[in-house]
Structure 1
């Protein structure tokens, strides 16, 4: 019997499985154990499964960047191997994946299934960020050479770092990123809650 080689990158599947395992199983189980087991060493370990408030780094802070990394690393494999960069289907594939991620984000974090306009959030954080990054990066990958992609990445990093380091510093509520969020996202910003008859930033 002829074995057809898989086109999937198994190392990426393992990394994706590990990330999902941490997110949907291991962390909830460990936290549940911590609620009934009062052990200082165990609770000290549990801090690695919570986000750092601001300064510092914990294991849990890797979850979101890993998803972004995996989304980006799949682009050459999915667009080159499965579809082909010159195929007219490639744009349909990109838009479909973008819309699926965006709508799933609205279901999970944007209160879409509540069917209540007052609590609906068109943009609600993680999955929309992944969807947007995937859309922009995929289009750039299709139309730019490798050198231009490297140049674009470095340019964006430098352009973003300048206002971040000069516009109010890196305080939690007084930095360039939070300024842009409040200007463009407004009531769709992560952490905004509906209170009474207005949106309140927490």
Structure 2
């Protein structure tokens, strides 16, 4: 067991021991739940509520709107970027004293996130006039690279 509260160590059978911050993993899991469709589940569970009830007002918090104020759904992407920033020092810690390897890792991960974002947005359909160039994965890749350089 680790001397630090909130940290756990992997099983002793691994060659390199790395400590995980359980609270960050839990928050990342919570955020990923909402990213992969938790809002759809919440909306389905709350959709038959009385229009004047708390449950129907709660269901509105899980819908993305162009701009009608601030809703819970608007926290999902910023929370993920916050988590990327939180784990960045731990991710780059193993490269201390090796700046070239750290830069290589930063640029490779940033490039892969941007590339995956383009693939997800149908870059292979070659419809460049109607393609969205700045989607979530591209923004995460750019933010990750810039934060890592800073």
Deviations 1:142-200 (A, max 9, x none): xxxxxxxxxxxxxxxxxxxxxxxxxxxxxxxxxxxxxxxxxxxxxxxxxxxxxxxxxxx
Q: Which runs of 5 or more residues in structure 2 are unaligned? A: 1-10
| CA RMSD, 1 decimal | 2.4
Q: Aligned pair 1:131/2:141, yes or no?
A: yes
Q: Aligned pair 1:75/2:75, yes or no?
A: no
What is the CA distance between 1:68 and its match in structure 2? Answer: 1.0
Bigger relative contact order, structure 1 or 2 (CA pairs below 8 A, ≥6 apart): 2
Q: Aligned pair 1:56/2:66, yes or no?
A: no
- Alignment-derived partner of residue 168 in structure 1: none
Q: Provide the rounded CA distance (Å) in 2 between the counterparts of 1:77 and 1:87.
A: 15
TM-score of the two chains, using structure 2 as the length reference: 0.75
TM-score of the two chains, using structure 1 as the length reference: 0.58
What is the CA distance between 1:75 and its match in structure 2? Answer: 1.4
- Higher fraction of helix: 1
Q: 1:71 to 1:89 in 2, by over 3 A?
A: same
Q: 1:85 to 1:8 in 2, by over 3 A?
A: farther
Q: Which runs of 5 or more residues in structure 1 are unaligned? A: 141-202
Q: Provide the rounded CA distance (Å) in 2 between the counterparts of 1:107 and 1:96.
A: 16
Q: What number of residue pairs does the alignment pair up? A: 136
Q: Provide the rounded CA distance (Å) in 2 between the counterparts of 1:38 and 1:25.
A: 20
Within 5 Å, give how 1:1-202 maps onto structure 2.
2=12, 5-34=17-46, 37=48, 39-40=50-51, 41=53, 42-51=55-64, 53-54=66-67, 56-80=69-93, 82-108=94-120, 110-121=121-132, 123-140=133-150
Deviations 1:21-62 (A, max 9, x none): 122132112233455x25323322111112354353221111
Does the residue aligned with 1:50 lie in a helix, a strand or coil?
Answer: coil
